[in-house]
Structures are given as structure tokens and as C-alpha cells.
Amino acid sequence: MDILLISNEDTCRSRIAQELLHAFGRGMNISTAGIMEGNCVPDAVCNVMEQNGFSVSRKKPSGVGTYTHRSWDYVITLCKEAGEELKFITLDAKQQVHFNFEDPFKNRFQNESEQEQQIAALYETMYRRLYEFYRDELSGQLLPHCTCGANTYCRCE
């Protein structure tokens, strides 16, 4: 299953979502992009993800234009801005899903600790919402299905 995650700059929300979805299950080829290309993944995001057992990729953020030539099973926007901009971008997607996760960098912080707390709160919110989405929408499509009619636990496929 091919999934494209789109956020503002491909530096925070898309990277968190990618790691979470990979952790929830197998069988997903997940790419990330931003409406605009960000510069790099902030250290605060990497720190929060490492505290939760993930190693966030330091690959350079990419713009959504990089992925317009591919077809996707799901295109998932992760913020209001990405949802609005997607109307003007042509993507071949079987399904489009929108989440409106807050930007943890929209406020100025006194220190890095406050910023990490904001990102940690975002992580928790994203974990809950994306797990519900995975459980209700994706997992059934990823698991093997019985085609012989033996029972629901058959793995004939």
C-alpha cells in the first residue's frame, strides 16, 4: 500500500506520522512531503522521537511536486494548510484523508524544553488519532484475507 503524507514543510508532522504508521504495521510504503520544502528536521523533533523509541530520518525534506508522477492508495494531509493547498495540486490518489494537527512551531518558546513539550503533546495526539485511523481504515486492507472460506483465521491468501 502506497501512502503519501503531506504537511507544511516535511520537517515535523509528516516525519512523526511516518514513524508511527510504520510502527503500527507492515505492508505500507510511506513517503513524506511538504507543501513547501523545509530546511531540515529540527533537533527538538528528533529528540522527542528518540525519547519514544524512534530514529527520525534526517533526509532532506521534499516538496509535494516530487511525487505528482506517482499513483497513491492514500494521500493524507496532516494540517489545515496542506489540506487547502492540495486542492491546487494534481495527485493520483485512490483515497484522500485529512487530519488537522497543530503546528508546534507556530509559537515562540523561551527555551528548547518548552518546544519539546509542545512536540511531545503533538506526538501523543498524533499517536492516538493515527492509531485509530490505522485500526479502523488501514489494518483490514493490510492483513491477509481467507479466500477458501475455511474460517476468519485462515491464511490461505
pLDDT digits (tens, 9 = 90+) for 59-114: 789 999 999 999 999 999 999 999 999 889 989 999 999 999 999 988 887 788 89
Side-chain half-sphere exposure of 1, counting CA atoms within 13 A: 22
Side-chain half-sphere exposure of 42, counting CA atoms within 13 A: 15
Count: domains in the chain? 1
Is there a domain that residue 124 lies in? yes
pLDDT digits (tens, 9 = 90+) for 44-60: 999 999 999 998 867 78
Is there a domain that residue 149 lies in? no
* The pLDDT value given to residue 155: 61
Is there a domain that residue 64 lies in? yes
Is there a domain that residue 147 lies in? no
Considering the chain, what percentage of its residues have pLDDT values greater than 70?
Answer: 90
Is there a domain that residue 155 lies in? no
- In the chain, count H helices and then E strands: 5, 4
What percent of the chain is helix, strand and coil (3-state, nearest 5)? 40, 15, 40
For residue 27, what are the domain limits? 2-142
The DSSP output letter for 69 is: T
